């Protein structure tokens, strides 16, 4: 969720991304698939037409009864009734039955169930939310005490210390949920901190009828076997817990972004078997009913994505109804970077999050026999490894000589080559699997350590049992190799890792973080914002701990999304009347485009480059500034209707979706006028004029002036150049005329547009691509 990398890296193992129809390694570990005749389908009916949930469910059963011919068959077919946030149901249907029910006029969509997978001590001081500062957003919001964060993930480990409710007041009055009993879990595991816990497995069971509960390692309850859900919940709203470290590294106080916020866990994902969309949709439906204020989902899948108005994108569908009810939905952007057009969870009503590094590193000195010291990176906390033989395998004595020094193939070498030595190897693999494989091969061969030369942007992970495995870049790896070849008896000394915080460690967008532009709707900028998501220390279950108190370091946009959820909780506590769009705008328009020390943010990849809006949206979240943005780009139901009209949804479907009659204007409005805190023009030919509207949330009498940094070769004119707000003029619109001087097709160029009253600066990114030839073909 983002549970992959989209879930981070569980136990530092990389999750293989599951497609919508194929489960990890082609097989679910929880059971065999059901027969081919009946499969779970989601029947989506849009906004519910009645406030009584029992009436809504009865109508769902009646629809199935009329299709299947008997109450018994309808009851047997029904998997879920969605009756709180929206109307619909999941049922076991044949293809022909699904087609029949899809033809009914009250049905918006019928789609087969789909499949999702799962996609911090220093974080909050780094982002300026130190509990030691008496006057800041953290303390002004009472640490989010009245806010409820709903998390859809793998469950929760309730015994973790981060869920203690010491000093926390009564459960918020608007809470209507509870704690569901199951395997090794009951209501006594909840308290004033962990106020809700439910689990959703019916869709999984319907698709895996031979599933055997007694053979499953997972808990058939809200309890977290995987550990990912506990980790995510900790980052969003874990209680303050001092003195936590990973074996002495990255030590300090662990807490969530909103440490007094309440946590409600909705378990819809099952260990090594991912998450079924029907289960996710039911979890979101229940969360809406229960009264959560924020929904945090670190889940996703890979390209190609479904359109956000397609119910097969369960998260987008559930999020739409949540947002209409005032719930901010925060999602991970995915871990398919650095490739372009890979960002997921891209619906315009979702707050989509990219991952950055922290200003923290773990330098690990390597002293060569010629007394040259090379700084690698590792999480090695064992004793110093004195001067030991150093080898680069080059002569395996077989036909695989060209692979002998490759980390993934060290096992082709004889054990005697590596026994008692530190081994140098090279890899081009982008994930940590090569590192873990190399460490395993060397250890099994009797080696005592491994140095891995790899892409410098790759994520750092510790090796099991604290085996010495040190990462260097290719340049340093080549220097070590040249030393090995220059002497008859090369040796190396490996020192324990240290923790370095602050300068000179720079912030970077993580290489794995999925990038824009948006492949579904190119005019909608995604991701929206970035937050730390690399080597984040947080709680887990005791099955996967690297710390005797139950903590682990994971990386992924899974870890970045709950950081934003924590910030959203603080903003919600401070501004109860702000809409989800206003909160998103406040976060985007006040973000850092440098790191907190003022240094430019780079984006990891090949090659590394300066970060742009497709890497980090508005930038790195700046919680303090977001609390007082001055102006916001707000959105209401009318704006979402306008958006759906622009992307081609028919009026009947829109009416069902929003629960009231809708007529799209003629001509159809431009998607460029959708009131986002960004402007993205994917196909500029000559010029275009678009509109934005700002709402004043700062001092009543305010005057703002515009400043534009135009993209290269693009002219930007804003009218008017001054906006005046007062008690009767709280919303003001302006127009932006954008023209290009380019004579050929270009890639994207980037700029910004800022409104400032010299106290508040509301900045939005500009992304413009000239597409002259494409338009020529369109017109001819």
CATH code where residue 472 lies: 3.50.30.30
Active site residue 153: yes
579: in domain: yes
138: in domain: yes
CATH at 271: 3.40.50.200
Point out the catalytic residue in the list 41, 84, 228, 760: 228
- State residue 513's pLDDT score: 94
Are residues 291 and 188 both part of a single domain? yes
Are residues 144 and 273 both part of a single domain? yes
Q: How many domains does the chain have?
A: 4
Distance (Å, whole) CA 616 – CA 600: 12
Contacting residues for 693 by C-beta, under 8 A, at least 6 apart: 633, 634, 675, 731, 732, 733, 734
Are residues 189 and 256 both part of a single domain? yes
- State residue 240's pLDDT score: 83
Choosing from 110, 130, 161, the residue where a domain stops is 110
CATH at 69: 3.30.70.80
The end-to-end CA distance of the chain, in Å, is 45
Nearest in space to 171 (alpha carbons), one of 187, 155, 152: 187
Are residues 278 and 135 both part of a single domain? yes
340: in domain: no
648: in domain: no
Are residues 689 and 556 both part of a single domain? no
- State residue 9's pLDDT score: 35
Q: Which residue range is the domain that position 92 belongs to?
A: 37-110
Choosing from 84, 110, 136, the residue where a domain stops is 110
Are residues 546 and 581 both part of a single domain? yes
Are residues 142 and 268 both part of a single domain? yes
Are residues 385 and 353 both part of a single domain? no
Distance (Å, whole) CA 106 – CA 655: 11
- State residue 307's pLDDT score: 66
Would residue 197 be called left, alpha or beta, if left means φ above 0 and alpha means ψ between -120 and 50 degrees?
beta
8: in domain: no
- State residue 29's pLDDT score: 35
Other CB atoms within a 10 A radius of the CB of residue 279 amount to 31
Active site residue 77: no
438: in domain: yes
Point out the catalytic residue in the list 153, 218, 224, 290: 153
Distance (Å, whole) CA 746 – CA 767: 12
What is the CA angle 566-572-575, rounded to 5? 145
Distance (Å, whole) CA 350 – CA 345: 7
Are residues 491 and 513 both part of a single domain? no
- State residue 401's pLDDT score: 55
- State residue 462's pLDDT score: 73
Active site residue 760: no
Are residues 328 and 377 both part of a single domain? no
779: in domain: no
Reduced to 3 states (helix: H, G, I; strand: E, B; else coil), residue 774 is helix
- State residue 517's pLDDT score: 96
Choosing from 427, 462, 497, the residue where a domain stops is 497
Point out the catalytic residue in the list 81, 558, 678, 702: 558
Q: CA 56: distance to chain centroid?
A: 33
Residues of the chain with pLDDT under 50: 1-36, 120-121, 399, 545, 775-780
CATH at 753: 2.60.40.2310
Other CB atoms within a 10 A radius of the CB of residue 21 amount to 9
Are residues 513 and 485 both part of a single domain? no
Are residues 514 and 400 both part of a single domain? no
Distance (Å, whole) CA 399 – CA 406: 14
377: in domain: yes
């Amino acid at each position: 969720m983002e549970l992959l990398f989209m879930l981070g890296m569980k136990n530092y193992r990389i999750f293989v991304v599951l497609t919508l129809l194929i489960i990890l390694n082609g097989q679910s570990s929880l059971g065999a698939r059901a027969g081919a005749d009946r499969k779970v389908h989601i029947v989506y009916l849009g906004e519910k037409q009645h406030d009584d949930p029992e009436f809504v469910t009865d109508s769902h059963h009646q629809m199935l009864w009329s299709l299947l011919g008997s109450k018994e068959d309808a009851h047997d077919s029904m998997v879920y009734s969605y009756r709180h946030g929206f109307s619909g149901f999941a049922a076991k249907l044949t293809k022909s039955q699904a087609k029949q029910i899809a033809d009914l006029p009250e049905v918006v969509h019928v789609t087969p169930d789909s499949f999702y997978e799962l996609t911090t001590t220093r974080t909050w001081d780094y982002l300026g939310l130190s509990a030691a500062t008496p006057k800041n957003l953290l303390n002004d919001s009472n640490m989010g005490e009245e806010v409820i964060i709903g998390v859809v993930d793998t469950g929760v480990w309730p015994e973790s210390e981060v869920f203690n409710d010491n000093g926390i007041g009564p459960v918020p009055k608007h809470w209507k949920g509870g704690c569901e009993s199951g395997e090794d879990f009951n209501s006594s595991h909840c308290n004033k901190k962990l106020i809700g816990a439910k689990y959703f497995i019916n869709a999984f069971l319907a698709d895996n009828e031979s599933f055997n509960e007694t053979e499953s390692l997972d808990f058939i309850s809200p309890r977290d076997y995987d550990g990912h859900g506990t980790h995510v919940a900790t980052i969003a709203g874990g209680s303050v817990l001092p003195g936590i470290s990973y074996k002495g590294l990255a030590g300090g106080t662990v807490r969530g972004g909103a440490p007094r916020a309440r946590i409600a866990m909705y378990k819809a994902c099952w260990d090594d078997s991912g998450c079924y969309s029907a289960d996710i949709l039911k979890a979101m439906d229940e969360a809406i009913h229960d009264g959560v204020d924020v929904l945090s989902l670190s889940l996703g899948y890979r390209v190609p994505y479904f359109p956000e108005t397609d119910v097969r994108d369960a998260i987008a569908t559930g999020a739409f109804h949540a947002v209409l009810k005032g719930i901010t939905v925060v999602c991970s952007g995915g871990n398919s970077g650095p490739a372009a057009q890979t960002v997921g969870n891209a619906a315009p009503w979702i707050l989509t999050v990219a991952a950055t590094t922290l200003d923290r590193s773990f330098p690990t000195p390597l002293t060569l026999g010629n007394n040259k010291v090379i700084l690698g990176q590792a999480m090695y906390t064992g004793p110093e490894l004195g001067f030991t033989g150093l080898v680069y395998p080059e002569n395996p004595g077989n036909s695989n000589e060209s692979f002998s020094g490759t980390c993934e193939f060290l096992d082709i070498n004889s054990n005697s080559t590596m026994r008692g030595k530190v081994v140098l190897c090279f890899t081009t693999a982008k994930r940590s699997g090569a590192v873990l494989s190399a460490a395993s091969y060397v250890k099994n061969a009797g080696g005592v350590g491994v140095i891995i030369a790899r892409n410098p942007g790759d994520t750092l992970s510790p090796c099991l049992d604290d085996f010495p495995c040190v990462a260097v870049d290719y340049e340093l790896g080549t220097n070590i190799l040249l030393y090995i070849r220059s002497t008859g008896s090369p040796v190396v000394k490996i020192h324990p890792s240290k923790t370095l915080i602050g300068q000179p460690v720079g912030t970077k967008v993580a290489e794995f973080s999925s990038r824009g532009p948006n492949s579904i709707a190119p005019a909608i900028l995604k991701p929206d914002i970035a937050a730390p998501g690399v080597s984040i220390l947080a709680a887990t279950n005791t099955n996967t701990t690297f710390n005797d108190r139950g903590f682990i370091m994971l990386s992924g946009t899974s870890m970045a999304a709950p950081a934003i959820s924590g910030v959203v909780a603080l903003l919600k506590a401070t501004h109860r009347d702000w809409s989800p769009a206003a909160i998103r705008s406040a976060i985007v328009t006040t973000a850092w485009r440098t790191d907190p020390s003022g240094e430019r943010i780079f984006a990891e990849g090949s090659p590394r480059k300066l970060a742009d809006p497709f890497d980090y949206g508005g930038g790195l979240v700046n919680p303090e500034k977001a609390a007082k943005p001055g102006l916001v780009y707000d959105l209401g139901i009318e704006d979402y209707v306008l958006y759906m009209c622009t992307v081609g949804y028919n009026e009947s479907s829109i009416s069902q979706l929003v629960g009231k009659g809708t007529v799209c204007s003629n001509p159809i409005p431009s998607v460029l006028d959708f009131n986002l805190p960004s402007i993205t023009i994917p196909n500029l030919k000559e010029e275009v004029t678009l509109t934005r509207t700002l709402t004043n949330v700062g001092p009543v009498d305010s005057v703002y002036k515009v400043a534009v940094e135009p993209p290269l070769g693009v002219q930007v004119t804003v009218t008017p150049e001054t906006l005046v707000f007062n008690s009767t003029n709280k919303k003001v619109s302006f127009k932006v005329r954008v023209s290009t001087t380019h004579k050929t097709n270009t890639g994207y160029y980037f700029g910004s547009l800022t409104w400032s009253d010299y106290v508040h600066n509301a900045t939005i990114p500009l992304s413009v691509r000239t597409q002259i030839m494409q338009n020529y073909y369109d017109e001819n």
